[in-house]
Amino acid sequence: MARPPGGRRRLERQPENQMRSASRLSIRLAWVVLAAALGALPLLAQQNPPRGSGPDAAAAAILRTYQPVSAARLLSPEDANWLMIRRTYDGWGYSPLDQITTSNVTRLRQVWSLPTGVDRVHEAAPIVNGGVMFISTPANQVLALEAATGKVLWRYVRPRPKDVFVLHDTNRGVALFEDKVYYAAAEAVLVALDAKTGKEVWATTVADNQSAYYLTLAPLVAQGKVLVGASGGEFGVRGFVAAYDAKTGKEAWRTYTVPAPGEPGSETWPKGDQWKTGGAPVWVTGNYDPDTNLAFFGTGNGGPWMGDQRPGDNLYVGSTVAFDVATGRIKGHFQYDPNESWDWDEVSPPILVDYRRGDRTVKGLINVARNGFLWFLERSGGPITFVDGTPFVTNDVYLRLDPKTGRPEVDPARKPGTGKTAQFCPSPHGGKNWPPIAFSPKTRMIYIPANNNLCGTLTGVPVRYEKKRSFSGSMSGQPFAAPGGGHVGGEVQAWNVDTGKKVWTHEYAKTPNWGSMLATGGGLVFTGGTNDRKIHAFDAAAGTLLWEAQVGSGIVAPPTTFTVNGRQYLAVHAGWGGDPRGMQNTMNRIFPGEFPPVPEGGSITVFALEN
């Protein structure tokens, strides 16, 4: 995960719940604003908010006609709705809606805005089904809203244990299936809510939070199962993906991303117990191929970070892994960085796109990786194979890729180790962090939230595993700009998937880019991610910036679009903080005084064309 700022030091970070007292007042004030919007100021007087605040009589009208989300609807969602975090199982982040176009996007106006009452980083895509919007936030909150007006239909808050252990206090969204909303609570508990009332239907413990497992990702629903993974890679967890029965919450299977002795892949680990603390966490939602019943998840850093402390390739660290949804069996994998040592979590799942190479069509996987390379892969019912790869930002670690396997040959001077300092590009923040790309079938382009020419320094140090203590075994040094004078910072890049070539680039001035991407049938690309707190609209074909609007805080969460009564809306979930704040501060260390703090505080803002 991205590193916080500061001088050269051992990374002994404390979980965010231990730093929370300083922000309690600002959270309380934000809730005053939200409570006023709800017309429910008495809520603030409650020491422990209820698990579910149900709808009033007026709100119940829209919920009475709520349409359950069937498996068939998830496979083929209506254009009007946004039923999962990337809208479709292939992860495209694309909507066919075309009421808002390149010719009229400048007429977008704010329709409504609502504060969430939380001032930590907000990363959840607004989900919409039949005019009902579902939003999750940090602090274990889920809101159901009338999508066209912002009226609160119900609010769910799950009280946390006093000793909850959460390093990155965020949440990346909910999942819908049948009449339920599925939410991954931070303390490693999976929750099913009644979509009409917000009442808790069932809850099941996914992992031991006191062993530093916690949840941040949106669940993935497929074949009647709810799939989740866990964060905690900095603390020596053993990563996994687990599946639960959507009706009952009973665990169906659990597959670890670090194999035990005797399991396939265990030969890539040293003998001993290091596999028990090997990392490879799963903290971003996977994509799914219904034709093969495979779910593709990405995995994060190893434990410790320095590969020389765990000799071997270390499967399945820094990999894309294909899981059989029926059984949990690993059917295929592709590892980007064997013996990974740069904290390049490759947790973003590849999107499923069939692309052309020469005279053949490849059943493709495309991954824009944190290591700064764009990977074109081929999927099947089992193995994942390499097609080609190319850098999309400066990478000085790879000398070359094996043309058959894609395995990188690494410059040893650019690989940190225990007692060895290395400088390398891209930095641990990555050429692209977790915010997802988008693909437009109209342009045949992918759209990338890139960060270019930002480099970092790491030194490995000896480390011993202790529960809930940092297990990174590293110290961070001074960040720096890549030599050569190129643009440093955030970019939006467009690449044609059939040629493998970049088509256009928009370079932002003096900002990182943490903007999740949305492509639409109206020929537009929407994205936030910049420190000016703006949502931007680009011409998807040409890259021209056509429109932008400022909201209350920076936008990290994926924007989404939907229609209600024939009118197209754009939903933006804002809230800066966490890793984006850390990268902003990192850039301020390179260019002192040029990257001031960004206002924080969560909100949902919805736009539509003016009447």
What is the pTM assigned to this prediction? 0.92
Q: What is the pLDDT of residues 297-340, one digit of tens each?
A: 999 999 999 999 999 999 999 999 999 999 999 999 999 999 99
Is the alpha carbon torsion for 470, 473, 476, 477 positive or negative? positive
Q: How far apart are CA 366 and CA 389, in angstroms?
A: 10
Q: How far apart are CA 141 and CA 185, in angstroms?
A: 9
Torsion, Cα of 418, 419, 425, 428 (10° steps) = 60
pLDDT of residue 56: 65
Active site residue 343: yes
Q: What is the pLDDT of residues 353-412, one digit of tens each?
A: 999 999 999 999 999 999 999 999 999 999 999 999 999 999 999 999 999 999 999 999
- Identify the helix (H) or strand (E) that includes residue 167: none
Q: How far apart are CA 182 and CA 245, in angstroms?
A: 12
Torsion, Cα of 350, 353, 355, 360 (10° steps) = 100
Q: What is the DSSP letter of 187?
A: T
Q: What is the pLDDT of residues 232-261, one digit of tens each?
A: 999 999 999 999 999 999 999 999 999 999
Q: Residue 56 is encoded by which pair of tokens?
A: 């009033």
Residue 47: Cβ within 10 Å count: 5
CB 362 within 8 A of CB 387: yes
Residue (of 263, 261, 279, 258) closest to 271 by Cα position: 261
Candidates 169, 289, 324, 343; catalytic one: 343
- What residues form DSSP beta bridges with 423? 457
Q: What is the DSSP letter of 594?
A: S
Q: What is the pLDDT of residues 28-43, one digit of tens each?
A: 344 444 444 444 322 3
The number of residues in the chain equals 611
Question: Which amino acid type is present at position 253?
Answer: W
**Was domain 9-609 assigned CATH 2.40.50.100?**
no
With bands split at pLDDT 50, 70 and 90, how would you rate the model's confidence at 49? very low
